[in-house]
Structure 1
Amino acid sequence: MAFPNIAAAVRFDIEYKSVKGLSLELTVWAPTAGQADAAGLSALSRCPACINFHPGGLTGGIRTDWLPEYLIDEALGQGIVCATVEYRLLPRTPAVEILQDATDAYFFVRDKLSDELLARGLPCIDPQRVGVSGLSGGGWCAATLGGLDIGVKAVFGIYGMVGVDSPYYNTVRPEATIFGIPPLPPPSDFARLSQLPELAGLPLIDFSKTREEYEKMGQNALDHYDQIVFSIHLIQYGCYANQITGTDGLSEKLSEPDLEKRKAIVPSNLHKLFPLLNIGPNYPLTALLHGTLDDGVPIEDSDNWKAQLDKVGAPNKLVRVPDAKHGFEVGLKNSNDEPLWHDYVSKAVGFFLKHLKE
C-alpha cells in the first residue's frame, strides 16, 4: 500500500466557515487510536496539527489538488492530525479576504476542531503545536500566516509563491511562456472574471488543450480556463502586486531589484500581503523545498525567503532539488526506495515535522 497511514486514518470533511453563501471546508485526516499509540500518544493526548493550502497561483485549485500525500502520510505516522483547506480565489475575491480565509481555517483547527475529534473518540489538538504548509500559491497562504504572529508553530513552503513583490511578478513581458502555456490575451479579456460569482476553489485543468479549444466548448469552459490561468496572465502582464492589493500603479514601482527598497515602496499596512516584506524575529521555524529549474515560481522566491529568515535569525532549512521543475514531487511516495524522497524531500519534511512535534 502506497500510503498506509492515510489509508488507516479517520478522514472526514467539515465546514470551517460560511461566507457570502459559500461553504468553505477542510478535509481532515486524524490518526486512529492505534496510530496514536504507535506514535507514543495515549487516547487522551493532544496531537500536533498540520494545515495544508493547495496550489493554483491563488486563482485556481481545490483542496485535494496536488495533495502532498508524502507529507500527510509521514505526519499521520507520527501522530499528527492533518487538514487541507478550501479557500476563495482571485480576482473574484480580494487577496485580503483570501488571507482571512486562511486565518480562519488556522483558528478553526487550533481552537474548534478538537470538539469534532473528541466526539469521534479521537485525540484532540494541542493548540500550541499547529503548523502550516503550502504548495505554490498555497505557499503564499502559509507564508502570510507565518508573518501574522498568531502562534503558528512551523511553516513548510513547497515551491511557495512568496516573492509577489519582486520584478518577476511585476514586470510586463507578455511574450513569456510559463508551464508551456503560450502568451495570453491582454487584461481587457480577463476583466469579466472579477464580476463573476466568488468561488470556493476550482479544479485545475488539462493544460494540453489551448485557450481556443476551451473557447469552442462554450462560455463556461472558457471562464474555467481563464480563471485557472489568470495567475499566469498576471505574471505575463506584470501586475501581481496590483491584483494582490487592489492598488493600480503599484506593480510598475516594483521593478526595483532591491528588496529593502521595495519594502519602502509598499505601504506598511499592505506588508501582510507580501510574505517577504513581513518577516520579523518571531517568524516560525520554516522548512523550504524548491526545484532549481522551476518554470513557474522561480527558485529565487525560496532563496530570498531563506535570506530574510537568516537576516532576522529565524531557524530555517532550504532543500534545493537540482534540475527539478514545478510539481516535481507530485505523487511521490515517502519511501526510502525513492531517491527523490530519501535524498531531498524527506530532509525538508523531517525538519518541519520534528519541530512541529516539539
Structure 2
Amino acid sequence: MAHTPNTTPELAPFTFAYKVVHGAPIYLDVYPPSLPPDSRVANAANRNGNHDPAIVPALLYFHGGGLTVGNRKSWFPQWLQKRVTAAGYVFMSADYRLMPPATGHDIIDDIKDIFRFISGELNSKLSAAAADGTLARFGVDPNAIAVAGSSAGGQATYWSAMHVSPKPKAIVLLYAMGGDYLTPQYLTKKTVPFFRGREILDPADYSEYMYPFADSLEVISDSPLAYNPSSSPMPGFPANPRMLLSRLYLQLGVLVDYLTGEHGLSDILRKALASDKTDLAHSTGSDYYDAINDRLKQLIPERHHLLFPQFATISDWPPAYLVHGTLDTAVLVHESRYMHRRLEDVGVNVTLSVQEGKEHSFDYEPDAETVHGKELFDSVDEFLKEHLEKARTD
C-alpha cells in the first residue's frame, strides 16, 4: 500500500523467471554479495580456479503496492539491499500476481513457487549466468533465507511465515498489511479523506477494476509505477490507475473481498463488526482483539482462513522484527502492535520498533538514511545477520 515516489536499485541484478502463468513469466531479481575481492565470500567463490561457488545466506524481499500494483523494482529499499549485500549475503526481490483478478490465494501459490525455485533451480542458473568467469560465482543457501516486505510486501512476508516449509529463518515486517484485516480501516466505507488527506476517489473512474470484472482484465505480476508529466493538468498524479486501487478498495471498505475473491464478504463483516474496534489506539491487550476476531472468523468461509495472519498458529514462527510509524494512515500501527503482542504471548522472538510521528513509507523519505540509519536500519541489519549466521552454522 506504498504511495511514495519510486526508488530504483542502483545495481543490475541477475533476473530469472521462477514460474510461468498463462504463458507470462513471473520474475525474481538476484543481487550478488558486494564484498571486496579479499573478503571471505569472494575468496570462497574464487578458490580452485573459480570452480567452487560461495553458498551464502539470502534475504527475499516483497514490494509494496497494496497487492494491486508495482513490481520487483518498485519502492525499492536501497537502505536494506545495500546492508544485506555488504554483509556478504544475497538480496532477492520478487514479483507476484496482482489483485485483481488475482487473489491472496494466487499470491500464496506464487510465494511457495519462489521458494521451490530457490531451493531447486536457482543455484544452477546462477552458475550458468557466471560461467564466463567475469563474476565471482555464488549460490544461495536454501536453509538460510530471511524474508522482508514493506506494506503489502509485509503481507507476503506474513504468508511466507505461515505457508512455506521450511520456514524462513527470520522475517522483517515494515508497516505490514495483514496484521488485522477485521478493523474499520478495511471494512468501513469512507466519505472524507482518510489517507494523507488526499481526495476521495470516484469508483466510476476505475470500473475496469471493480467486481464483476470485464473478461479483458488480464492476470499480471508487473505493473510499473507511472506519474503524469509536469505538462499535465494534474502533474505528478498517478498515471497508472492501479496505483490508486488499494486506496479505492479501502475507501469502499471492500479490500477483503478482493483479497479473498469472496465478493460481499466485507459487507457481512462490516455489519457484524458494529462498534467494536473503533478505538485501535488504546493499550487493550491482544486477548480483547482475539475475542472479536474469533467471533468474526465464524463468518468467513474456512477456505479463506489461510489468508489471515491473525488466524494463524504462530508458536512456530521465526524471529520477527516489526517496524511501524504511529501516524500511518494507510496501514494503522494497531496491526503491528496486535501481531507483536500475539507473537510475544506465545514466546516468539519478536521486536517492535514504533517510529513516533511517522507516516506510511517513511523509510523512503529523502533524509531517511540520516534520520534512521544508525538506529533503525542498522538494528534491522544486525537482526538479520544474527539469525542468518545462526542458520548457516546450524
1:158 to 150, 159, 174: 174
1:22 to 24, 33, 51: 24
Aligned-residue CA RMSD (Å) = 2.9
| TM-fit CA distance, 1:333 | 8.3
| TM-fit CA distance, 1:323 | 0.8
Q: Secondary structure at the match of 1:147?
A: helix
- In percent, how many aligned pairs have the same letter? 26
Alignment of 1:122-137 (within 5 A): 122-137=137-152
Corresponding residue of 2:388: 356
TM-score normalised according to structure 2 size: 0.78
Conserved 8 A contact 1:10-1:30: no
Instruction: Please list the CA deviations of residues 190-224 of structure 1 after superposition, one character each: whole Å capped at 9, or x if unmatched.
Output: 44223322222212243899x9959xx9xxx97x3
Conserved 8 A contact 1:12-1:29: yes
Distance 1:11 1:302, change over 3 A: same
Of 236-245 and 30-39, more deviation after overlay is shown by: 30-39
Q: Kindly provide the amino acid, as one letter, of the partner of residue 42 in structure 1.
A: A
Conserved 8 A contact 2:13-2:31: yes
Corresponding residue of 2:373: 341
Q: Secondary structure at the match of 2:80?
A: helix
| TM-fit CA distance, 1:54 | 0.7
Q: Kindly provide the amino acid, as one letter, of the partner of residue 197 in structure 1.
A: E
Unaligned runs of 5+ in 1: 1-5
Corresponding residue of 2:198: 181
| TM-fit CA distance, 1:168 | 1.4
Instruction: Please list the CA deviations of residues 308-327 of structure 1 after superposition, one character each: whole Å capped at 9, or x if unmatched.
Output: 21132211111111111111
Conserved 8 A contact 2:35-2:42: no
| TM-fit CA distance, 1:52 | 0.7
Conserved 8 A contact 1:149-1:282: no
Distance 1:175 1:10, change over 3 A: closer
Q: Secondary structure at the match of 1:303?
A: helix
Conserved 8 A contact 1:89-1:199: yes
Distance 1:271 1:10, change over 3 A: same
1:139 aligns with 2:154: yes
Corresponding residue of 2:359: 325
1:315 aligns with 2:349: yes
| TM-fit CA distance, 1:133 | 0.9
Distance 1:266 1:301, change over 3 A: same
Q: Kindly provide the amino acid, as one letter, of the partner of residue 23 in structure 2.
A: G
1:237 aligns with 2:252: yes
Instruction: Please list the CA deviations of residues 232-253 of structure 1 after superposition, one character each: whole Å capped at 9, or x if unmatched.
Output: 1111111111111111332234
Instruction: Please list the CA deviations of residues 56-110 of structure 1 after superposition, one character each: whole Å capped at 9, or x if unmatched.
Output: 0001112111111111111111111111111121112222112212221222123
Counterpart Cα distance in 1 of 2:366 and 2:40: 24
Unaligned runs of 5+ in 2: 1-8, 46-52, 131-135, 278-291
1:91 aligns with 2:108: no
Distance 1:114 1:87, change over 3 A: same
Counterpart Cα distance in 2 of 1:105 and 1:56: 19
Conserved 8 A contact 1:166-1:254: no
Counterpart Cα distance in 2 of 1:333 and 1:82: 23
| TM-fit CA distance, 1:349 | 3.3
1:61 aligns with 2:82: no
TM-score normalised according to structure 1 size: 0.85
Of 198-207 and 95-104, more deviation after overlay is shown by: 198-207
Distance 1:237 1:25, change over 3 A: same
Alignment of 1:8-47 (within 5 A): 11-31=13-33, 34=36, 37-38=39-40, 42-43=44-45, 44-47=53-56
Counterpart Cα distance in 1 of 2:308 and 2:358: 25
1:299 to 316, 328, 333: 333
Corresponding residue of 1:104: 113
Corresponding residue of 2:133: none
Counterpart Cα distance in 1 of 2:199 and 2:367: 32
Instruction: Please list the CA deviations of residues 232-287 of structure 1 after superposition, one character each: whole Å capped at 9, or x if unmatched.
Output: 11111111111111113322343433233333433333122112222421112111
Conserved 8 A contact 1:75-1:81: yes
Counterpart Cα distance in 1 of 2:365 and 2:37: 23
Counterpart Cα distance in 2 of 1:260 and 1:352: 33
Instruction: Please list the CA deviations of residues 33-66 of structure 1 after superposition, one character each: whole Å capped at 9, or x if unmatched.
Output: 7469346972254211111111100011121111
Corresponding residue of 1:267: 301
Alignment of 1:222-233 (within 5 A): 224-225=240-241, 227-233=242-248
Counterpart Cα distance in 1 of 2:229 and 2:321: 32
**Higher gyration radius (CA):** 2
| TM-fit CA distance, 1:149 | 4.7
Q: Secondary structure at the match of 2:13?
A: strand
Corresponding residue of 2:323: 289
